[in-house]
Amino acid sequence: MTNRFAFAQRLPCRIDWHRIVLLPITVVAIAGSASGVRAENMYNPIRLPGSNEISDTLSEQDIPTGQGGFARDYIVTLQEGDQVAIDLLSDSFDTIVALIAPDGTTIAENDDGPDGSTNSLLFSRITQGGDYIVRVRAFGEGGTGNFTLKVTRLRPI
């Protein structure tokens, strides 16, 4: 009787034939099960209405910040040369507002406005037109509740 694995005995290394046989079966099983997986877009920022003002609620269902709090993102279309003021008001939590450029860089961020309250106010000049993100979040852990966000295009005097 001929040993069909005789060539393996002449090799300088040891071959584990069970792994060689099982590996292709495993790859086929993994590749076959991936066809049923569907990618879903979990990130859905809210487009600000035409008035660029919205009253909304920050909740534990929003984006986790990694610092114990939550954030909610809004899209606003801005033009090159726009000068904007972004107001974020809440009686429920200490607000932080950020303006994020289309490329993902943070343009400006504000915690407490100049009035000494825990509301936020930031000003920015837009150097490149596009869809920007206005991020609403609470300072610290667990701040949630109602807020009003307003983006105002300022006019030169």
DSSP string, 61-102: TSEE-SSS-EEEEEEEEE-TT-EEEEEEE-SSS-EEEEEE-T
The terminus-to-terminus CA distance of the chain in angstroms comes to 100
The answer to whether residue 32 scores a pLDDT higher than 50 is no
The answer to whether residue 6 scores a pLDDT higher than 60 is no
Chain-centre distance of CA 139, in angstroms? 18
CA distance to 15, 21, 39, per residue, from 30 (Å)? 24, 15, 17
Residue 1 is classified by DSSP as: -
pLDDT of residue 43: 81
Q: Lowest-confidence range among 21-25, 79-83, 88-92, 115-119?
A: 21-25
Q: Please give the Cα distance from 98 to 104 (Å, whole number).
A: 11
Which residues are paired to 35 by β-bridges? Answer: none
Across the range 28-45, mean pLDDT stands at 59
Q: What does the pLDDT look like over 114-140, one tens digit per residue?
A: 778 899 999 999 999 999 999 999 998
Q: Please give the Cα distance from 129 to 79 (Å, whole number).
A: 4
Q: What is the pTM of this model?
A: 0.72
Q: Please give the Cα distance from 95 to 87 (Å, whole number).
A: 10
Across the range 94-109, mean pLDDT stands at 96
The answer to whether residue 103 scores a pLDDT higher than 80 is yes
pLDDT of residue 116: 80
The answer to whether residue 40 scores a pLDDT higher than 90 is no
Query: Could you give the 3-state DSSP secondary structure of residue 146?
Result: strand
Across the range 49-72, mean pLDDT stands at 92
Domains of the chain, each with CATH number or no CATH: 46-154 (2.60.120.380)
What's the burial of 36, exposed, middle or buried (CB within 10 Å: 0-12/13-18/19+)? exposed
pLDDT of residue 14: 53
Residue-averaged pLDDT of the chain = 81
Order the strands of the 83-89 sheet from edge to edge: 53-58, 145-154, 83-89, 120-125
The answer to whether residue 21 scores a pLDDT higher than 60 is no
